[in-house]
Structure 1
Amino acid sequence: MRARAAGVLLNDQQQVLLMLRRKEGRHYATLPGGGIEEGETPAEACARELLEEVNLVVDVHEEVLTLENLGNREHYFRVTYRSGEMRLGDGPEGVRHSDTNSYLPEWVQVDRLAEVNLVPEALRPLIQTLLETA
């Protein structure tokens, strides 16, 4: 089983930061995040992955969801913006980005999440709850 960490980043315009993906003919969206490296805590991995994937330095707060998804244990954290300009980062996603395997970080209005193929599905109610309690 592989462990993964991701961040839920909301802004003051009621938007959530998603990574829009196109891979092997599929179109879907995920929260920015990735694999936890040896010796790293899930929270540390979350911060590193957001920097690598979307060029943002974030503060990592409480873990808001842990689940099993496609053979992975996934840890989701509430994060807040500290610095950086949002763009595809210089990590592996930037290197692997191509016409057939694309990564596009984008702010999406929370009230339009139903229009996005967000995976895993359990993230929809979580994002809505975090927006309401922010």
Structure 2
Amino acid sequence: MRARSAGIVFNDQGEVLLILRRKAGREYATLPGGGIEEGETPAEACAREVLEEVNLTVDVGPEVLVLDNLGNHEHYFLTRHARGEMRLGDGPEGTVRQSEENHYAPQWVALDRLDAVNLLPQQARALVRGLAPAQDDKEVEQ
């Protein structure tokens, strides 16, 4: 079983950062993450993978889910204080793996659009909604 780690990253507007994927004719989305390297903790892998995939430095918070999924033992962490310019990072997704057949596109997605995105694994959708920061009630201008 392969060990993976992923981060749940929200911006100030309460949008979640997803990697929109197109691979082998399928379209889906994932949370930024990837394999845990030898000698690395799941939390360290989360921070490294977010930086490699989407060019953001994050503070890794609590582990919020561990699951076995498609031959992977996956760790999910809530992150805080994302810093940097969000874009496809300098890791293998942006430098080696990116092609017409294997496409990666990081994007901020509003929570009310989550149902329109094929977010995998299936548990991620409820997890993201449950962890979303509360948005301050905005006063209606009259």
Do these two structures clear the TM 0.5 threshold for a shared fold by scoring above it? yes
Higher Rg of the two aligned structures: 2
The answer to whether residue 129 in structure 2 is matched with residue 125 in structure 1 is no
1:20 is matched with which residue? 20
**106-115 vs 81-90, which deviates more?**
81-90
| Mapped partners of 2:81, 2:25: distance in 1 | 32
Structure 1 residues 4 and 59: CA distance shift in structure 2, 3 A: same
Give distance in 2, aligned partners of 1:132 and 1:14. 6
Superposition misfits of 4+ residues, deviation over 6 angstroms: none
What is aligned with 1:113?
Answer: 114
Q: Is the 8 A contact 1:15 1:108 kept in 2?
A: yes
Size of the alignment, in residue pairs? 134
2:53 and 2:90 in contact (8 A); partners too: yes
Alignment RMSD (CA, Å) = 1.2
**What residue in structure 1 maps to residue 87 of structure 2?**
87
Partner of 2:49: 49
Where does residue 59 of structure 1 map in the other structure? 59
SS in 2 for 1:28: strand
Task: Give 1:49's aligned amino acid.
Answer: E
TM-aligned CA deviation for residue 66 of structure 1: 0.4
Q: Deviations over 1:35-90 (max 9, x none)?
A: 00000000000000001000000000000000010010000000013421000001
Residue in 1 that maps onto 2:140 = none
**Shift in alpha-carbon separation, 1:27–1:81, aligned structure 2, 3 A:** same
**Counterparts in 2 of 1:81 and 1:132: CA distance versus 1, 3 Å:** closer
Structure 2: give runs of 5+ residues left out of the alignment: 136-142
Q: Which runs of 5 or more structure 1 residues have no equivalent in the other structure?
A: none
Q: How does 1:95-106 map to 2 (within 5 A)?
A: 95=95, 96-106=97-107
Q: Distance in 2 between matches of 1:97 and 1:55?
A: 15
Partners of 1:132 and 1:106 in 2: CA distance: 18
Q: Compare the two structures and name the one with the higher strand fraction.
A: 1
Counterpart code for 1:124: R
Distance 1:6 1:17, change over 3 A: same
One-letter code of the match for 2:117? V
**Inter-partner Cα distance in structure 1 for 2:133 and 2:113:** 15
